[in-house]
Each structure stands twice: as C-alpha cells, then as structure tokens.
Structure 1
Amino acid sequence: MINIDTLCLNCMTDTGGGLVCPHCKCEPVSPQQTAIALPMRTLLNDRFMVGRVLGQPGGFGITYLAWDTVLDTAVAIKEFLPLTAANREPGGVTVLPNSEQDREFFQYGLEIFLQEAKTLAQFSHPNIVRIRDYFATNNTAYLVMDYHQGRPLNVFVKENGGRLTEAQALTIMLPIMAGLEAMHDKGFLHRDVKPQNIYLTDRNLPVLLDFGAARMAMADATQTMTVMLSRGFAPFEQYHNKSRQGPWGDIYACGATLYYLVTGQVPADALERQHQDTLLPPLQLNPQISLEFSRAVMTAMAISPNARPKKIGVFRDRLTAAGQQALPARVVQTPPIAVNRAPPDKRQARYSSKSRGPGRAGVMLGAALLSVVVLVWLAGHRNSVNMPAKLDQASGLVSAELKSPFPAADNEGEKVIQTVTPPLEATATVPLYQPEPQAEKQVVRNNSPAGGTGNSCENKSRHADCLLGNAEDRRVGWCVPADGGQYVCIPKPAPGSRQRFPPDARHPPPLGFRR
C-alpha cells in the first residue's frame, strides 16, 4: 500500500518523504497551473486523489493526472467543464452555470457526457483509450481513463523532421482505423480524428483519444460549429448541424491525418475547398510516397460523402495494398541443391592435393564472395526504403519481421487522455449512426439540379482521376459514382450559396446506411 501523503503530484511516484521528487525533480506539492482547476490532493468519489493538470485546459473540460487509492495506480481523469456555459465556484470545487440561460445548455451537455461515458466503458480495443470508471459529483461529471506516458502524434511528427514516411504513417494509422472500424460496427462515431487526438505511448502503441460527439452536440445546440471543429481535418458535412453523419466523416478525417503525416502540411479546410478546391495530392508534395497511397488519401478526402469509401475497412484495405506494392524486392533463400557425386576414380589418387586444390577451392571461394556482395547490397537497398516487411491484411498491423520504423521514445511529454463517445439514444440534435448489413442500392440519376446542368461523364478514367485529386476537374463539379460504372457531373453551388449540404435531391445517402 503506497502512502499517498508522500506521492509526487507531478508524476505520481513515491518521494519517500523528500523535499524534491527523485524521479521528476519537482517539489512534491506545487500549485496548479491554472486557477480554474481543482486544487491538488482533492479526493474525488472517495477514491481518486487529484494531481496536476495534463496538457492545456480546453474549452470543453480539464484533464488531471490522478491516483487511484483502491488499485494503487496512476489514472487520467477528465472533468466536464465547458467554459462557454459554466465556471468553478470561487474558492471551491463545485461547477456552476454562468447564468440561468446557460443552465439548460450545461445540463444538456452533462447528460450526453455521462451517456457517452457509459457507452465507451463497455467498449474495448487496444487502440481506443479505455474508460475505467465514470461518476457525477461537484455538480458535474468525470471520466476515469488509463494513463499513458508518451506524446501526441503531432509532436512526434515535429520531432522527426516535420513529416513521416509512408511506412511510418501506415504503421500508426492502420491500427487506429481498425479501432474505428470496430466502433462503427457498434454504431459509434468519433467525429474528431486528428493528429492531436492520436497518442503514441512510450511503447509506440497508437491510441485514439478525445471523442468529439458531445462537443459536436453542444455546438449543434448553439450554432457554433466553426468554433468547435478542427479545421483541416473536419469534413464538409460537419459544418451543417442537420447533415447526415456516418462513418464517412471519420474516413475523411483519417485521410486528412494521413495527408498531414506524409506532407507535414495541414490540408486546406473543407469549407474553403467547397468553393475552390486547389488541394494538391500528397504525391506532389512528397514524391517518395506511392501513387496508390496518394490516390487512396485523396479519395477519402473527397468533399462529397458519396465519393468517399462507404466503410473505413475498404479504405484500410486499399492502404494496406498500397503499402505492399511499395515494398522492395525481398531476398528469397532457396535450399542448396544436392548433387550425387560418383566415387573418385582410382586414377585421381595419383594427383596430389596441390594440383587439384586451386581449381575447386578458387571457384568455391569466388562464389561465396559474390553471394556475400549481393546479399549486402540487397540488405542496404531494403533498409534505405524503410518499409515494413509485411502488412497483415486481416488486422492492418505491421508484422515484427523488421524493426519498427519508430525511434525509441523517451518518457517526456504526456497527453491529455480524454474521451467522449456518441449517446446511446438518438436525439433531435445528435443523430445516432445506425449501420445496416444490407440495403437497397441508390442510383444517382442524370437529372439537372436547380441552377445547373447535369452531364453524363463518358470519359470514365478522366473523372476517376477527378475523384482522386485532379483539382482542375473538381472545380467544375462533383463526380459521383453511379450504378453501371458511370459517373455523373454535379455542379457545385455558387460561391456564397446557403444551400444545405448535401442536397437530398442530388446526393442520395451512401449505400448500406439509412438516411
């Protein structure tokens, strides 16, 4: 049993009663970094002792490093505290609405926060942050999560030259997408995938944090979407609170995250791209990535949800195939061929070892040296490519045949382990995504929408490239795939148009999902 009175509240290790922590070199007791945070050593739910604030307090809540006095382990605790609607009681721990007008809004968000905690607590995946407990006190609510040492993905990118290789990007994102696929199968959405919400632990395990459904619901209620969204990573339909939400939104965000990882640039915001799309394919910014990888990313980032993959598993499989095509030639070791030699002729006994040695020994030595040279050259060529030896299509994980492309991570820098998931029940402002195994296919008709003309695209390959990132073609309109392998050009709305996206008459829901 650890004595909590001697715990360092900065790193949750035992100081042994010293004035300075031998682990982090900090004083065992120090004031919080922000006045709005809970005082250190506050005991929550008669179990969790609050330590320092992790990361920077956000507009939606505060996350603390804490100590579980029952299990004797460090945890991360997220406190629901939307600063737009509430604040802390001066000198106390109770959270109070800013005004009577904000009270209803605060209670609405609080209920969703607890609902989502209950949902996620039943979900388990190695690449999704785990909820240990949740409870309500101090007139607000708290999530208790696993605490991981490591760093956010955006920090990792900056520490490694500003961008990653295709192999490193796949090593990180394929497991994340496997976790998202498991969530989508249960009917849950993340709605805030971005590098800041992907955490690399000290064992280089990528973990997805900070679910954004509750934040999006509160934004819907206050019409403050542009404030709540992550620019560059949020799909266009999230800017409209009445647009149908589904897996296609998380697919866009994953594509945008991959774009950032291999280029080092945050992609243009979807709202800006809707008016004039000048987004360059990642291959033009990083010629070392493969063409298939670049095309897969641009397809996932299509402005129209109908032009993206319908399921994240389809996107993940395409990325896996792209990674395998980019692999260098592998050395195949064949077993030696057995040769039956006739017994030596008696006449050979008259020859001395000196006379027959230089011929056979010289040939064997030369062959051995040549084999070594070839193997060394191939090994050097393979290392220069820095690709994993094999990608498992079933799990999306990288096999352990080669050393991980990650450098050894240190223990510096911790990330807020914060999580929110979609509610259990559908509400008027928070649509619940409901997957269906089968559904009747919707056909895009070649009808002229109001204010524009619809033209059947006979040049299929040209408009397939349009979906994969040809900015010149996409200025004309969206190219939506229809049945029969044809495409339909749909003109974009005029700049400044207030028409709701996606227009129901022109964009049927993606196949396999309800409207």
Structure 2
Amino acid sequence: MVSDKGPLVADRYRLTERIGSGGMGTVWRAEDHVLGRQVALKRIHAPHHLSDDELSTLYERTRREARSAARITHPNVVVVHDVVDDDEGLPCIVMEYVPSTTLGALLKERGTVLPQEAARIGLGMVAALRAAHAAGVLHRDVKPGNVLLGADDQIVLTDFGIAVTSGTSTLTRTGEMIGSIEYMAPERVRGRKPGPFSDLWALGATLYQAVEGQPPFRRDTAIETAYANAVDPLPPLRHAGPLAPLIEALLAKEPDERPSAEETERELKSVVAEEPTRGRAPRQDVPVPAAAPPPSGTVATPERTGGGPRKRRRVVWSAAAVALTILAVAGATYMWPDGGGQRGGGEAKPSASAPPPVPRGYHLVEEKKLGVSFPVPNGWKPRDRTGDGVKYIDPSGLVEITIGTVDPAGPSPVAHFRDIEANTKKNYDVYRRLRLDRTTFRGQPAAIWECTFDGRVRTFRAIDLGFGREGGKEYDVYLSAPDEQWDTYRPVFDKVKEGLRTH
C-alpha cells in the first residue's frame, strides 16, 4: 500500500491512503468530514486516448455503478454512500470502507486455497450475486480482485462499475466487450447478450483459480484467452476435491447448462460442511463407475439410471465463427486484471450448430442404434456392441471407453450409481470410492462417480458420468484404465464427454 495524503474531494472527503488501483480507477481510503467516518472513494481514470464521447460514456458508467450497487441491500455487497465529482469533473463513488484484502491478493501471495475455503468464499459471492440479480443488476466483472476478504470471515463483492441494470442502456459501442477477459463467459465473448448465468460462469472461473492457482483458460494474449473461453475444453481439475463437479458445471459453455444461483449455493454449502480430509487430492468433474477391464462383466459395463436427452437442439459454434466474433466488432476492448487493454475489430455471426472439431489423434464414430456420435482415439477398436451400449478398447486391451444408455431412465443417477457400487463391492475384494457426487450436465440431472478397484494383476481407476431425466433416456460416459497410467488416459474421458452428441 502507498501512504499518500490526497486532496479534499467535494469539500467533504479527505483522501488519506491509496488502497487499490485497476483499469478503470483508483480506490482511496478517505475521511468523511461531515459524518466523521472512514469511507472508500473510487476515482476513475481519464485515459488521454479517449474521445469526448468516450469519456462521457466512461463517466456515466461510473455514476451507474453507484446507482446499480445502491439498489442492492445485502451484507455481501459493498454499500454505496454517495457519488460526487472531484475538482476535475471526474465522478467518484463513495462506498463503505471494508478493512480487507482481496481474494486476488491472497491468491497472488499463497497460490491457492483449500476447496472448503474456496467454497466458503464462493458462498459469500453467490449470496451477493443472488441479491444483485434479484434487484435486476448484472455484475459483469466478477473476479478475485473484486472479492473483499474482511475480518470475521466477511466476504464482500465490490466494483459494480460495469454492471448492467435491467432496462438501461449498455453504454457500449456495438461489439465492445467490457470486463476482465479471463473471467468473461463464452456467450459474452461470442457477442451474445449476458445474463445472470454469465456472472455464474465468472464465479466458476474464480473458484477454479482459487483451487488450481490460475484462471481456467489463461493464454498469452487477450484474443487467445477469449478464444479459449469460448471453445477450449476445461483443463482438468487436480486440486478441487469435492468442488470439482460444481466448478465444471458453472464453466459449461452454454448458459442453460449451468446450475442456477440457488443450486450453486446448495452445492457450496454441502462442500463447506465436509471435513477437509481429502485436502488437495487431484480431482475433476465427472464421475465414475466401477469396473472396466475387470474379471466380471456384471460390473464392467453397468446399466445406468438417469434421464432423457435434451429436447431442443443445442447451439454449437464453429471455431471459425468464434474466432471472427472474438476479433469482432470495431474497437472491442478487453480489460486485463492489471487494467491493460487490447483491441480487435469487426463483427461476425456464428454459424449454426456445427459440432466441436474432432481432437487431433481422434476420429468421429456414430452409433446409430444408440443415437449418439462421439470422438474415439485412433487405433481403438469397438467391442461388446449391444442395443444399449458400446465399448471401445485401446491397443493394449487395458483401457476402455464405454458409452451406455438406459431407457427409460430411473429416478436418480446418483441412486443408480449407488446400486452399481453395491454390486461392484461384491465383485472386487479391493474397491475404494474416490467420489460419488450429484451434479448437472448440459442442463440435466447428472452424477459423477470415481473409484479404484483391483483386477487380477493390477489396480484400475474408473470415472463415470451419467446424465438424464427420469422417464427419458440416460446417457453414460465411462472410462477405466490402469491406475498407474491414469494421468495419460484421463484426458480421453474429457474429449469423449465434450464431443458426445445425441441424435
């Protein structure tokens, strides 16, 4: 921090200490001479390269921050006291002073936090977002640097400077993207209208960084980061523990595949309630059956229970369309956490429903009887093809990927996996559950199961995702491999899962 006595603003607020600075302004601790209290005062920057019209827009954004935040009354949202102009005519927002550090500063110092601590912080954030959304306000810049960590475990979400209130102008030129690109939801990168689920994606990106040490799609440039947000699969979570299913769900590419704020809050509470015994075990999002290359076929390809496929067609963007939209519209500005900016130009419209590109080293297979298509590593061969499932085996014969269906699906993927688990325990002398969690996938109820079990000569590890609705059709994606080779084959699961399409 820099101790630096400042001027008197609006004949009332004496600036006493600079406590933060970002791309849009500098925050000062100040003394309110009228009420005799400490406040935080945000003075915005006036970049010299902006035109008069652009400066006018910037000033109006700042005034809108005050109006937006003032609409929200909640202990997890910073209180706005006043908005005034300084001697240079620059608007300043006067807020409650929260003696604190930010989550961003904490992560810069410590790298990561434990999953339970991340979940506790996430609970404060989602409570703030629920209050904001109920007041018709989108934050649009949720990130670690805007999360204050105060005394007595206080969590406060601040900086509504680019917030949008329902029914107001966005105050941006066509195609302009305002916000921190590393936490910008795919639909915003693609030029779509943001909504509450965009803030939840940013919450997911923040939680990802909290447990993994960096944002999920960080790249060398703003353009590459934006492209990765929109197109790239989520990098595996290795330290998220019980938070992994929720983080993966929040970071879904399509808004309607993400959990609601209420569902997010419930999941975070369940994680906070857990004992941190598993600490920082490597973990990911989707779960897990029990038996792949095993001695008994009764568990190797277990039947599933779950739900039906999506009723409407999912909109998928081609890589080319995303790239053009990212480079989009003239003057699009991407704000980095340090306040730097990069520009791109030109608007493009997405192509309709093109599937994601087949990963290098894979080929697309279509199983017409199952009504699915998905990528499979080159060299893997089909085996045990039935009316409700198919298995592909790697050249060693020890690794399998299975796509299964259950029609009609039972009441709950979690309950069904528990039934399979009970059968698994009967078939394997050594079985260990790593996780069996309830989650969502593509907007449907889902379960993730991950475990290890001993085969005849080696230990195997397996992961299974089941998703669907009761009475519909459940789809399952299952991978098993020798435990000692898990890091090599685990990415296959992600690629097949992300590439799975139902017909």
TM-score (norm 1): 0.52
Change (3 A) 1:256 1:450: closer
- CA–CA distance in structure 2, aligned partners of residues 170 and 303 of structure 1: 22
In the alignment, is the contact (CA less than 8 A) between 2:118 and 2:210 conserved in 1?
yes
Alignment-derived partner of residue 260 in structure 1: 209
In the alignment, is the contact (CA less than 8 A) between 1:121 and 1:130 conserved in 2?
yes
Q: Say whether residues 1:76 and 2:40 are aligned partners.
A: yes
Q: Say whether residues 1:42 and 2:41 are aligned partners.
A: no
Larger radius of gyration: 1
- CA–CA distance in structure 2, aligned partners of residues 107 and 50 of structure 1: 24
Q: Say whether residues 1:145 and 2:95 are aligned partners.
A: yes
Alignment-derived partner of residue 65 in structure 1: 29
Tell me which amino acid in the other structure corresponds to 1:118.
R
In the alignment, is the contact (CA less than 8 A) between 1:129 and 1:209 conserved in 2?
yes
Tell me which amino acid in the other structure corresponds to 1:231.
I
Once the two structures are superposed, residues 250-284 of structure 1 have per-residue CA deviations (whole angstroms, 9 ceiling, x without a partner) of 110111111111122321156333675242332xx
Tell me which amino acid in the other structure corresponds to 2:123.
L
Alignment-derived partner of residue 54 in structure 1: 19
Shift, 1:452, TM fit? 4.3
Alignment-derived partner of residue 303 in structure 1: 253
Change (3 A) 1:481 1:43: farther
Higher relative contact order (CA 8 A, sep 6+): 1
Q: Say whether residues 1:244 and 2:244 are aligned partners.
A: no
Change (3 A) 1:308 1:65: same
- CA–CA distance in structure 2, aligned partners of residues 195 and 146 of structure 1: 19
Q: Where do 4+ consecutive residues of structure 1 move more than 4 Å?
A: 214-219, 384-387, 445-470, 479-488
In the alignment, is the contact (CA less than 8 A) between 2:125 and 2:157 conserved in 1?
yes
- CA–CA distance in structure 2, aligned partners of residues 239 and 447 of structure 1: 15
Alignment-derived partner of residue 196 in structure 1: 145
| 1:294 paired residue among 239, 244, 250 | 244
Change (3 A) 1:139 1:167: same
- CA–CA distance in structure 1, aligned partners of residues 62 and 56 of structure 2: 10
- Equivalent residues in 2 for 1:10-409 (5 A)? 40-56=5-21, 58-83=22-47, 102-137=51-86, 138-160=88-110, 162-213=111-162, 220-221=172-173, 223-225=175-177, 228-241=178-191, 243-269=192-218, 271-273=226-228, 277-282=232-237, 285-286=238-239, 289-290=241-242, 293-309=243-259, 311-324=260-273, 326-327=274-275
TM-score (norm 2): 0.53
Alignment-derived partner of residue 444 in structure 1: 312
Tell me which amino acid in the other structure corresponds to 2:62.
F
In the alignment, is the contact (CA less than 8 A) between 1:444 and 1:483 conserved in 2?
no
Change (3 A) 1:187 1:464: closer
Shift, 1:140, TM fit? 2.2
Change (3 A) 1:51 1:262: same
Tell me which amino acid in the other structure corresponds to 2:47.
L
Once the two structures are superposed, residues 440-485 of structure 1 have per-residue CA deviations (whole angstroms, 9 ceiling, x without a partner) of xx95148998574799558568997688899xxxxxxxx9989975
Shift, 1:215, TM fit? 9.7
Once the two structures are superposed, residues 94-146 of structure 1 have per-residue CA deviations (whole angstroms, 9 ceiling, x without a partner) of xxxx5xxx112222232232233123224221111111111234322111011
Change (3 A) 1:50 1:323: closer
In the alignment, is the contact (CA less than 8 A) between 1:109 and 1:218 conserved in 2?
no
Tell me which amino acid in the other structure corresponds to 1:128.
V
Once the two structures are superposed, residues 216-261 of structure 1 have per-residue CA deviations (whole angstroms, 9 ceiling, x without a partner) of 9888327453xx43233211122244x1211101110111111111
- CA–CA distance in structure 2, aligned partners of residues 304 and 480 of structure 1: 16
In the alignment, is the contact (CA less than 8 A) between 2:138 and 2:163 conserved in 1?
no
Change (3 A) 1:180 1:450: closer
Once the two structures are superposed, residues 296-347 of structure 1 have per-residue CA deviations (whole angstroms, 9 ceiling, x without a partner) of 11011011112112x21112212323444x448xxxxxxxxxxxxxxxxxxx
Once the two structures are superposed, residues 480-514 of structure 1 have per-residue CA deviations (whole angstroms, 9 ceiling, x without a partner) of 989975699xxxxxxxxxxxxxxxxxxxxxxxxxx
In the alignment, is the contact (CA less than 8 A) between 1:63 and 1:79 conserved in 2?
yes
In the alignment, is the contact (CA less than 8 A) between 2:104 and 2:144 conserved in 1?
yes
Find the residue that maps to 1:192 and give its secondary structure. coil
Find the residue that maps to 2:132 and give its secondary structure. helix
Find the residue that maps to 2:20 and give its secondary structure. coil
Change (3 A) 1:221 1:215: farther
Tell me which amino acid in the other structure corresponds to 2:10.
N
Change (3 A) 1:82 1:469: farther
Find the residue that maps to 1:213 and give its secondary structure. coil
The RMSD of aligned alpha carbons is 4.1
Once the two structures are superposed, residues 392-438 of structure 1 have per-residue CA deviations (whole angstroms, 9 ceiling, x without a partner) of xxxxxxxxxxxxxxxxxxxxxxxxxxxxxxxxxxxxxxxxxxxxxxx
Tell me which amino acid in the other structure corresponds to 2:24.
F
- CA–CA distance in structure 2, aligned partners of residues 124 and 447 of structure 1: 37
Change (3 A) 1:54 1:219: farther
- CA–CA distance in structure 2, aligned partners of residues 274 and 258 of structure 1: 15
Unaligned runs of 5+ in 1: 1-8, 12-31, 33-39, 86-97, 329-383, 388-441, 471-478, 489-515
- CA–CA distance in structure 1, aligned partners of residues 160 and 268 of structure 2: 24
- CA–CA distance in structure 2, aligned partners of residues 308 and 240 of structure 1: 17
Between 1:229-238 and 1:173-182, the stretch displaced more is: 229-238
- CA–CA distance in structure 1, aligned partners of residues 353 and 250 of structure 2: 28
- CA–CA distance in structure 2, aligned partners of residues 149 and 464 of structure 1: 37
Unaligned runs of 5+ in 2: 219-224, 281-309, 317-350, 356-365, 373-387, 389-403, 407-412, 414-438, 449-465, 476-503
Find the residue that maps to 2:160 and give its secondary structure. coil
In the alignment, is the contact (CA less than 8 A) between 1:281 and 1:294 conserved in 2?
no
Alignment-derived partner of residue 390 in structure 1: none
Alignment-derived partner of residue 341 in structure 1: none
- CA–CA distance in structure 2, aligned partners of residues 274 and 483 of structure 1: 32
- CA–CA distance in structure 1, aligned partners of residues 405 and 210 of structure 2: 31
